[in-house]
């Protein structure tokens, strides 16, 4: 177990926070026996009922050297991102906060328009749009070093610069979890079925994987659209 991940999980255990390993972190540990070298994030999921306890740990994370930001949608916090002071040595930590609707666990998903990961082959020309986006990112990082910044993805100034979708996962995967004694960590009980749902042939590494295009756990519609239309 990676030392950084072990320290995070030990803290969650000490404070009795129910969580599960998720996404690339779960995939790497179960397929390779270690974290994926190409994955720069540690991925964890929690239900929204754990949010009050999770918030009590923010000061501890900050003391450990993490910069913290949270993201909200329609006034509800759905994500905490912990950025370590040394990105060469440690990974960022993404904690997604899920709620339930219509038999699914849901959590907003977003990414910046015209970011390097979304437009790999075309370098956008410098425009007012890109200048403002760069200023927002710079401000974000500066504020992040001093306080917990909340990014309201459905409001200005962020909304025009983001593409928003939804993590839309059958809730049984997250409700039925188990303690993996080898990892000393909580994972979805039906983890093989879950990885197949998310990644298809998860046992075979993919060299051209793009999460927002290929992950079957992502619905391109916003949470508001999904929940209203069900």
- Structural domain boundaries in the chain: 3-229
pLDDT of residue 114: 59
pLDDT of residue 158: 87
pLDDT of residue 70: 94
Taking CA atoms, 104 is separated from 107, 170, 175, 191, 217, in Å, by 10, 4, 10, 16, 11
Phi, psi for 51 (deg, rounded to 5) = -60, -45
Please state, as a whole number, how many other Cβ atoms lie within 10 Å of the Cβ of residue 225.
14
pLDDT of residue 125: 57
Handedness of CA 170, 42, 110, 142 (dihedral sign): positive
- From first to last of its 230 residues, what are the pLDDT tens digits of the chain? 799 999 999 999 999 999 999 999 999 999 999 999 989 999 999 999 999 999 999 999 999 999 999 999 999 999 999 999 888 899 999 999 999 999 999 999 998 875 544 444 444 456 666 676 666 656 655 554 455 688 999 999 888 889 999 999 999 999 999 999 999 999 999 999 999 999 999 999 988 888 889 999 999 999 999 998 65
Alpha-carbon distance of 40 to 141, in angstroms, equals: 18
Q: How deeply is 11 buried, as exposed, middle or buried, from its count of CB atoms within 10 A (0-12, 13-18, 19+)?
A: middle
What is the value of pTM for the model shown?
A: 0.85
CA atoms lying within 13 Å on the CB side of residue 59:
2
**Cα dihedral angle (156, 106, 28, 118), rounded to 10 degrees?**
-40
Q: How many helices (H) and strands (E) does the chain have?
A: 9, 11
Are 173 and 105 in contact by the 8 Å Cβ rule? The answer is yes
- Tell me: cis bond preceding 120? Omega within 30 of 0 counts: no
């Amino acid at each position: 177990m990676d030392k950084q991940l072990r320290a995070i999980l030990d803290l969650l255990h000490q404070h009795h926070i129910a969580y599960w390993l998720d996404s690339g972190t779960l995939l790497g540990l179960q397929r390779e026996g270690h974290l994926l070298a190409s994955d720069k994030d540690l991925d964890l999921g929690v239900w929204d009922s754990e949010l009050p306890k999770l918030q009590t740990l923010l000061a501890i994370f900050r003391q450990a050297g993490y910069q913290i930001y949270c993201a909200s949608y329609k006034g509800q916090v759905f994500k905490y991102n912990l950025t370590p002071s040394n990105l060469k040595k440690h990974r960022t930590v993404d904690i997604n906060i899920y709620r339930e609707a219509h038999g699914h666990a849901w959590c907003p998903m977003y990414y910046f328009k015209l970011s390097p990961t979304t437009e790999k082959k075309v370098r956008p020309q410098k425009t007012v749009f890109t200048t403002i986006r760069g200023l927002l990112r710079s401000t974000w990082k500066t504020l992040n070093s001093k306080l917990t910044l909340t990014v309201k993805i459905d409001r200005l100034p962020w909304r025009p610069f983001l593409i928003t979708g939804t993590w839309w996962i059958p809730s049984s995967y997250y409700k039925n979890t188990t303690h993996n004694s080898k990892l000393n960590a909580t994972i979805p009980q039906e983890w093989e079925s879950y990885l197949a749902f998310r990644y298809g042939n998860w046992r075979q590494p993919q060299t051209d994987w793009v999460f927002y295009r290929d992950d079957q756990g992502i619905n391109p519609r916003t949470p508001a659209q999904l929940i209203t239309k069900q």
